[in-house]
């Protein structure tokens, strides 16, 4: 096939776009991988304790955990590379590996790089009975893990420990949260350990006070660098005092222009207080992470012009300063791995579908009137209510898919028409035909060619 000619634009300028910054993990001081950590410490995991420390169960649990982690990569690949005509039959044989259950859609921070600052997100917590119903459904179909957050701060739901314990009792092998740690008091820390949290990821952007407080401002009261650090340090002490190994703790910082020079400080702050310190370099949480440094803009512009490529061509600079461009999308793994559930029981497409714009179905009738709740948030911003000042740019999320207003189940939605239509487009090279995917900047859904 000959080279595709793209008409050269007059006044060729690189189009402003979210930089698809590459290497997801820029640097990390991981002590162990997740599988090793689980196997080495299984005796202190609540799943094993709940089995009354039955030795036969120990092997079974380890095997289950290994299977779950391996399937994370294998499950999408098996279908994407398999017989495209039979994909629906294959989907019926598999299950989501993880459910992201939004126990709180409220957040006490207003980080400028977060989608919450652009899309109206109600300040709510999930109804406990709805949460338990969803956990029951997940356990019934053999889901391996539940992550108890999506668009908000999970520690703001006081029932979180209860829900974690409920899931572990139902056989969920891994319980996870992402947290900003602002509300990680000593009491809450103890509860999370006691109730069987397995994996806790702290989000903390910045290595010094001024940067951190600028990137993670409080909505209702000033957020404090010192207090959050203390919470994280205390957590480790409490875990040690309990002689507990879970939850495994990781802290991550998203690299941005404003914290680019604080990597060393960030590592020093936390390396003795968490199991893993990670810096990521990508913009999956929305907003502009940074612009390309000038040197790379020149290389890119030159390359695109010389190859008659559009100035809209996606590009990324990875952690080692390798510059890539992409001419093609590729099927996304998320639609074969996980399901995202909002506090009111709507199933969104993936972790990039922040406004649940591509709704796949309902697990509760509570979600039927989500627009009313979103409008309430807009009114609070317009009325300049306390805690809404930083949300001035929010809009009501568009609707890309509007499923029938029926209460369904996780299992039916997983193998239902709404999600299968998306999968069909993905495995047949039509990713850009789906509105939400067209605008998605997740680097994993592009094929990359290194140009410098
Ligand atoms: S990035 Fe996390 S902590 Fe910050 S506003 Fe978004 S959900 Fe809240
Ligand atoms: S391509 Fe992006 S928007 Fe589409 S399913 Fe994947 S992560 Fe979601």
Per-residue pLDDT, 7: 47
| C-alpha pair distances (Å), 149 with each of 9, 12, 357, 428 | 44, 43, 18, 31
Mark the ranges of the chain whose per-residue pLDDT is less than 50.
1-9, 19, 21-24, 283-290
Per-residue pLDDT tens digits for 180-189? 999 999 999 9
Query: d(Cα 20, Cα 267) in Å, to the nearest integer?
Result: 24
101 three-class SS: strand
Ligand 2 touching residue 340 (CB < 6 A):
no
Tens of pLDDT along 313-370? 888 776 667 888 888 999 999 999 999 999 999 999 999 999 999 999 999 999 999 9
Q: Ligand 2: distance of its center to the CA of 440 in Å?
A: 6
pTM of the model: 0.91
How many other CB atoms sit within 10 Å of the CB of residue 255? 23
- Give the per-residue pLDDT at 263: 83
Alpha helix positions (H), 186-262: 186-194, 209-215, 225-241
Q: Which atom of ligand 2 is nearest to the CA of 332?
A: 6
> Cα 158 to the chain's mean position, in Å?
22
Evaluate: CB of 419 within 6 angstroms of ligand 2: no
Residues within 6 Å of ligand 1 by CB = 107, 109-111, 114, 116, 152-153, 180, 203, 285
pLDDT at site 284: 39
pLDDT of res. 85: 85
Q: Which helix (H) or strand (E) holds 340?
A: strand 338-341
Distance 331 CA to ligand 2 centre (A): 9
pLDDT recorded at residue 16: 58
Alpha-carbon torsion angle 57, 60, 64, 65, nearest 10: 70
> Which ligand is the nearest neighbour of the Cα of 254?
1
Question: What would the two tokens of residue 411 be?
Answer: 């299992």
Are 407 and 364 spatial neighbours (Cβ–Cβ below 8 Å)? yes
Model pLDDT, residue 2: 38
Helical pair 55-80 and 34-41, crossing angle rounded to 10 deg: 160
pLDDT of res. 440: 85
Point out the ligand nearest to the CA of residue 287. Answer: 1
Please indicate whether residue 436, judged by its CB atom, sits closer than 6 Å to ligand 2: yes
Among the bound ligands, name the one nearest to the CA of residue 356: 2
């Amino acid at each position: 096939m000959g080279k595709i000619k793209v008409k050269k634009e007059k006044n060729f300028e690189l189009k402003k776009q979210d930089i698809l910054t590459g290497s997801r993990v820029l640097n990390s001081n991981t002590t162990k991988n997740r599988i090793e950590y689980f196997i080495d410490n299984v005796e202190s995991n609540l799943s094993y304790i709940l089995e009354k420390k039955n030795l036969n169960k120990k092997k079974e649990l380890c095997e289950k955990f290994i299977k779950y982690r391996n399937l994370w990569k294998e499950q999408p690949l098996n279908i994407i590379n398999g017989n495209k005509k039979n994909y629906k039959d294959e989907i019926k044989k598999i299950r989501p590996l993880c459910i992201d259950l939004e126990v709180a859609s409220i957040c006490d921070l207003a980080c400028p790089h977060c989608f919450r600052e652009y899309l109206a997100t109600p300040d709510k917590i999930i109804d406990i009975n709805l949460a338990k119903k969803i956990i029951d459904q997940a356990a019934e179909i053999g889901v391996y893990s539940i992550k108890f957050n999506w668009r908000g701060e999970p520690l703001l739901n006081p029932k979180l420990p209860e829900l974690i314990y409920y899931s572990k009792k139902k056989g969920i092998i891994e319980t996870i949260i992402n947290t900003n740690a602002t509300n990680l008091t000593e009491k809450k820390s103890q509860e999370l350990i006691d109730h069987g949290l397995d994996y806790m990821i702290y989000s903390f952007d910045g290595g010094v006070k001024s940067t951190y407080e600028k990137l993670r401002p409080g909505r209702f009261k000033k957020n404090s660098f010192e207090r959050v650090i203390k919470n994280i340090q205390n957590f480790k002490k409490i875990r040690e005092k309990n002689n507990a190994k879970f939850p495994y703790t990781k802290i991550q910082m998203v690299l941005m222009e404003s914290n680019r020079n604080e990597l060393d400080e960030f590592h020093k702050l936390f390396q003795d207080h968490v199991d893993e310190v990670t810096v990521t370099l990508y913009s999956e949480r929305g907003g502009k992470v940074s612009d390309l440094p000038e040197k790379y803009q020149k290389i890119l512009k030159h390359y695109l012009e010389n190859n008659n490529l559009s100035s809209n061509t996606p590009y990324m600079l990875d952690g080692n300063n390798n510059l890539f461009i992409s001419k093609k999308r590729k099927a996304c793994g998320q639609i074969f791995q996980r399901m995202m559930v909002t506090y009111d029981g709507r199933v969104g497409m993936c972790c990039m579908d922040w406004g649940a714009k591509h709704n796949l179905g309902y697990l509760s009738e509570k979600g039927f009137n989500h627009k009313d709740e979103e409008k309430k948030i807009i009114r609070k911003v317009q009325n300049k209510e306390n805690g809404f000042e930083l949300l001035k740019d929010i809009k009501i999320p568009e609707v890309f898919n509007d499923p029938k207003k029926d209460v369904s189940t996780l299992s039916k939605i997983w193998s239902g028409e709404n999600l299968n239509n998306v999968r069909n487009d993905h495995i047949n090279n039509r990713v850009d035909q789906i509105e939400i995917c067209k605008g998605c900047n997740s680097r994993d859904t592009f094929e990359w060619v290194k140009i410098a």
